[in-house]
Amino acid sequence: MKKVLLPLLLIAVGNITLAQSSKQVQWSYTAKKIAEKTYEVHLTATISGDYHLYAQDVGGEGPVATTFTFTKNPLTNFDGKVKENGKAIKKFESAWNHDVKYYEKTVDFVQVVKLKGNAKTSLAGKVEFMVCNEKQCLPPSEVEINVNIGG
């Protein structure tokens, strides 16, 4: 009986911990047409309390960088990489023993997407991220992305 209960308990605790990380960041997604068949997709993170969210280029090993992985879509092409719009903070963190780059309160990640036709489609995928404050870091979390574009 103990052999069955221990793994179940560990899974439940792990799921609760992962849920805590995603509660510290609320993600919202919008698309804005900027030219014929071209859209800016805004992936906006609103960060709770005294936590901070690491940048895509965090500045070294240690914390998990914010990473976007998009599902392949034959109707879309990307115009460049995901850009960050926000007040980036570069600071030495003793936990990692080097300078790191992160955002507090909010950051807007922007991906320019070009459609291959006039079809309505979506940009789907996931974002992986990690948040910390002065006392602790929460385990990395993944959130699904789905933004309607075109049409």
Spatial distance between the Cα atoms of 114 and 57, rounded to a whole number of angstroms: 25
C-alpha closest to that of 53 among 127, 124, 151, 121 = 127
Using DSSP's 3-state secondary structure scheme, residue 123 falls into strand
Domain boundaries, the chain: 2-150
Residue in the structure block whose two tokens are 């090993």: 61
| Pairwise pLDDT comparison (5 vs 66), residue with the higher score | 66
Amino acid residing at 106 = T
Spatial distance between the Cα atoms of 90 and 107, rounded to a whole number of angstroms: 14
Spatial distance between the Cα atoms of 141 and 21, rounded to a whole number of angstroms: 6
Spatial distance between the Cα atoms of 97 and 81, rounded to a whole number of angstroms: 28
Render pLDDT for 14-62 as a digit per residue (tens, 0 to 9).
444 444 667 899 999 999 999 999 999 999 999 999 999 999 999 999 9
Predicted confidence (pLDDT) at residue 94 exceeds the cutoff of 50? yes
The whole-chain average pLDDT of the chain stands at 89
Q: Give the pTM.
A: 0.85
The pLDDT assigned to 12 comes to 41
Among the CATH numbers 3.40.640.10, 2.40.50.100, 1.10.10.10, 2.60.40.1250, which is that of 2-150?
A: 2.60.40.1250
The pLDDT assigned to 13 comes to 40
Residue 10: pLDDT band with limits 50, 70, 90: very low
Predicted confidence (pLDDT) at residue 6 exceeds the cutoff of 90? no
Give the DSSP H/E element, type plus range, for residue 92. Answer: strand 89-93
Residue 95: pLDDT band with limits 50, 70, 90: confident
